[in-house]
Amino acid sequence: MLIDGKGLSKQMDASIIEKVNTLKSDGIDPKLAVILVGHDPASQIYVRNKHRKAKLVGIHSIDKRMPDDTTQEELLAVIHDYNRDASIHGILVQLPLPKQIDESAIIQAILPSKDVDGFSPVNLGRLFANSDEAYPVPCTPRGIMTMLDTYKVPLEGAHAVMVGSSNIVGRPLGAMLLNRNATVTYTHIYTKDMSSITQTADILIVATGVAHLIKGRDIKPGATVIDVGMDRDKAGNLVGDVDFDEAVKVAGKITPVPGGVGPMTITTLMQQTLELAEGKFSQQRQKQSVL
Amino acid sequence: MLIDGKGLSKQMDASIIEKVNTLKSDGIDPKLAVILVGHDPASQIYVRNKHRKAKLVGIHSIDKRMPDDTTQEELLAVIHDYNRDASIHGILVQLPLPKQIDESAIIQAILPSKDVDGFSPVNLGRLFANSDEAYPVPCTPRGIMTMLDTYKVPLEGAHAVMVGSSNIVGRPLGAMLLNRNATVTYTHIYTKDMSSITQTADILIVATGVAHLIKGRDIKPGATVIDVGMDRDKAGNLVGDVDFDEAVKVAGKITPVPGGVGPMTITTLMQQTLELAEGKFSQQRQKQSVL
Q: What is the pLDDT of residue A206?
A: 98
Residues of B with CB below 8 A from A132's CB? 104
Q: Nearest C-alpha of chain B: how many angstroms from A129?
A: 6
The continuous run of DSSP H or E covering B232 comes out as strand B231-232
pLDDT above 50 for A96: yes
Is the Cα dihedral B74, B77, B83, B88 positive or negative? Answer: negative
3-state SS, residue A126: helix
pLDDT tens readout for residues A1-24: 999 999 999 999 999 999 999 999
Sheet holding A31-37: strands in order across? A60-66, A31-37, A90-93
Is cis: bond before A30, omega within 30 of 0?
no
Catalytic residue selected from A4, A19, A64, A94: A94
Q: Nearest C-alpha of chain B: how many angstroms from A185?
A: 4
Q: Is residue A243 flagged as an active site residue?
A: no
Global pTM? 0.95
**Do B190 and A167 make contact, defined as CB atoms within 8 angstroms?**
no
pLDDT tens readout for residues A256-273: 999 999 999 999 999 999
Mutation choice for A interface testing from B190, B197, B203, B283 by most A CBs within 10 A:
B190
pLDDT tens readout for residues B241-272: 999 999 999 999 999 999 999 999 999 999 99
Q: What is the pLDDT of residue A290?
A: 38
User: pLDDT band at residue B158, thresholds of 50, 70 and 90?
Assistant: very high
Nearest CA in chain B to A84: B291
Q: What is the pLDDT of residue A234?
A: 87
pLDDT above 90 for A215: yes
User: pLDDT band at residue B283, thresholds of 50, 70 and 90?
Assistant: low
Q: What is the pLDDT of residue A90?
A: 98
Q: Nearest C-alpha of chain B: how many angstroms from A123?
A: 7
Q: What is the pLDDT of residue A233?
A: 87
Catalytic residue selected from A4, A13, A31, A50: A50
- Contacts by A63-66 with C-beta closer than 8 Å and gap 24+? A63/A34, A63/A36, A64/A33, A64/A34, A64/A35, A64/A36, A65/A36, A66/A35, A66/A36, A66/A37, A66/A38
pLDDT tens readout for residues B209-245: 999 999 999 999 999 999 999 998 889 999 999 999 9
Q: What is the pLDDT of residue B174?
A: 98
CA distances from B21 to A174, B7, B24, B30, B63 (A): 44, 22, 5, 10, 22
Catalytic residue selected from B4, B115, B117, B243: B117
Nearest CA in chain B to A125: B125
pLDDT above 90 for A281: no
**Do B167 and A130 make contact, defined as CB atoms within 8 angstroms?**
yes
Q: Is residue B94 flagged as an active site residue?
A: yes
User: pLDDT band at residue A277, thresholds of 50, 70 and 90?
Assistant: very high
CB B20 within 8 Å of CB B58: yes
DSSP labels, A11-78? HHHHHHHHHHHHHHHTT---EEEEEEES--HHHHHHHHHHHHHHHHHT-EEEEEEE-TT--HHHHHHH
Catalytic residue selected from B94, B271, B272, B283: B94
- In 3D space, the residue among A204, A218, A210 whose CA is nearest the CA of residue A173 turns out to be A204
The continuous run of DSSP H or E covering A92 comes out as strand A90-93
CA distances from B285 to A105, B134, B278 (A): 13, 11, 11
**Do B80 and A110 make contact, defined as CB atoms within 8 angstroms?**
no
Number of A/B CB contacts below 8 angstroms equals 131
User: pLDDT band at residue B281, thresholds of 50, 70 and 90?
Assistant: confident
**Do B124 and A129 make contact, defined as CB atoms within 8 angstroms?**
yes
- In 3D space, the residue among B247, B187, B256 whose CA is nearest the CA of residue B221 turns out to be B247
Is the Cα dihedral B262, B264, B267, B272 positive or negative? Answer: negative
pLDDT above 50 for B291: no
Residues of B with CB below 8 A from A192's CB? 157, 159, 183
Residues of A with CB below 8 A from B126's CB? 121, 125
Q: What span, in angstroms and rounded, lies between the C-alpha atoms of B183 and B197?
A: 13
- In 3D space, the residue among B55, B188, B242, B213 whose CA is nearest the CA of residue A155 turns out to be B188
B166 annotated binding-site participant: yes
- In 3D space, the residue among B125, B155, B133, B123 whose CA is nearest the CA of residue B226 turns out to be B155
Catalytic residue selected from B31, B50, B53, B114: B50
CA distances from A112 to A126, B196, B283 (A): 11, 41, 16
B279 annotated binding-site participant: no
Q: Do domains A25-111 and A139-261 have the same CATH topology?
A: yes
Domain segments of chain B as ranges:
25-111, 139-261
Mutation choice for A interface testing from B73, B117, B122, B287 by most A CBs within 10 A:
B122
**Do A121 and B126 make contact, defined as CB atoms within 8 angstroms?**
yes
pLDDT above 80 for A284: no
Q: Is the pLDDT higher at A226 or at A288? A: A226
Q: Is the domain covering A25-111 a CATH 3.40.1360.10 domain?
A: no
Residues of B with CB below 8 A from A84's CB? 291
Residues whose CB falls within 8 Å of the CB of residue B84, separated by 6 or more in sequence, listed in order:
A291
Q: What is the pLDDT of residue A258?
A: 95
Q: Is residue A117 flagged as an active site residue?
A: yes
Q: What is the pLDDT of residue B56?
A: 98
Q: What is the pLDDT of residue A289?
A: 38
Nearest CA in chain A to B81: A291
Provide the pairing of β-strand B238-239 with A224-227: unpaired
pLDDT tens readout for residues B100-148: 999 999 999 999 999 999 999 999 999 999 998 999 999 999 999 999 9
Q: What is the pLDDT of residue B289?
A: 38
pLDDT above 50 for B57: yes
- In 3D space, the residue among A272, A278, A262 whose CA is nearest the CA of residue A49 turns out to be A262
Output the furthest CA–CA distance in chain B (Å, rounded): 59
A152: exposed, middle or buried (Cβ count in 10 Å: 0-12, 13-18, 19+): exposed
Class of the CATH-defined domain A139-261: alpha beta
Mutation choice for A interface testing from B101, B108, B113, B195 by most A CBs within 10 A:
B108
**Do A190 and B197 make contact, defined as CB atoms within 8 angstroms?**
no
**Do A131 and B165 make contact, defined as CB atoms within 8 angstroms?**
no
Residues whose CB falls within 8 Å of the CB of residue B126, separated by 6 or more in sequence, listed in order:
A121, A125, B133, B135
- In 3D space, the residue among B88, B82, B89, B170 whose CA is nearest the CA of residue B136 turns out to be B89
Provide the pairing of β-strand A203-206 with A159-163: parallel
Q: What is the pLDDT of residue A60?
A: 98
pLDDT tens readout for residues A156-183: 999 999 999 999 999 999 999 999 999 9
pLDDT tens readout for residues B18-40: 999 999 999 999 999 999 999 99
Residues whose CB falls within 8 Å of the CB of residue B80, separated by 6 or more in sequence, listed in order:
A290, A291, B109
Q: Is the pLDDT higher at A286 or at B260? A: B260
Q: Nearest C-alpha of chain B: how many angstroms from A32?
A: 18
Residue numbers in the known binding site of A for NADP(+) are 164-166, 189
DSSP structural state of residue A130: T
**Do A121 and B120 make contact, defined as CB atoms within 8 angstroms?**
no
Q: What span, in angstroms and rounded, lies between the C-alpha atoms of A161 and A177?
A: 10
List the single residue in B83, B123, B183 with the smallest CB-CB distance to A186. Answer: B183
Q: Nearest C-alpha of chain B: how many angstroms from A201?
A: 12
B187: exposed, middle or buried (Cβ count in 10 Å: 0-12, 13-18, 19+): buried
DSSP structural state of residue B81: H
Alpha carbon A31 to its chain's center: 19
Inter-axis angle of helices B261-278 and B139-150, nearest 10:
110
